[in-house]
Structure 1
Amino acid sequence: MELTITNNTGKRQFETEVEGHTALVAYTLFPGGIAFMHTEVPPELEGRGIAGQLAKYVLEYARENHLKVKPYCPYINAYMKRHPEYNDLL
């Protein structure tokens, strides 16, 4: 499933809508970086790889925008441990 992910700057979250439900990664900005605070996938959408796609998207966003990452969100933190190619963002 290919997702359309947008950066809702007003709410400080990357989000995607699937079947009327919103999955998201909430963030805060700091000088030179982005802190990922929380990943949320509604129960109706669990088990489809949506959180993984969101994690990859937000980390690629950080890389493309030359932002350092603070993975406060347990899911993003675990994703980065499974994908060491993102360690340069820490």
Structure 2
Amino acid sequence: MSFLVEENPAKHRFEILVDDALAGFTAYLPRGEVLVFTHTEVDERFQGMGVGAALIRGTLDQLRERGGRVVPKCPFMAAFIDRHPDYADLVVREP
């Protein structure tokens, strides 16, 4: 199973493709260099397979590469960051 995480700026979200099928997304509101993440959704066909975690990890890794920051209003993303404190440096309070 191959995962690909890519940004879809037109829809203000990062999407995860599993074997070329859209498996989920995490939506954001842009605030300059800060993205306020509001919702994460994984298609029920892909739940319980680590797709959500791969989506958040891929999103945060891409944001780190480009110097972005996040406000994790989405409970799923917030919980992921709590479990993986090496991403805590990307978190800011809402601007």
- TM above 0.5, yes or no, is yes
Name the CA distance, whole Å, in 2 between partners of 1:32 and 1:59.
Answer: 13
CA contact 1:34–1:62 (8 Å) conserved in 2: no
Cα offset, 1:21, TM superposition: 4.5
Q: Which residue of 1 aligns with 2:60?
A: 59
Q: Which residue of 1 aligns with 2:3?
A: 3
User: Structure 1 length normalisation: TM-score?
Assistant: 0.89
Percent identity between matched residues is 33
List runs of 5+ in structure 2 lacking aligned partners. none
Aligned-residue RMSD, C-alpha:
1.5
Q: Which residue of 1 aligns with 2:17?
A: 17
Q: Which residue of 2 aligns with 1:42?
A: 43
For residue 67 of structure 2, give the secondary structure of its aligned residue in structure 1.
Answer: coil
List runs of 5+ in structure 1 lacking aligned partners. none
Name the CA distance, whole Å, in 2 between partners of 1:35 and 1:9.
Answer: 14
Runs of 4+ in 1 over 6 A off after TM superposition: none
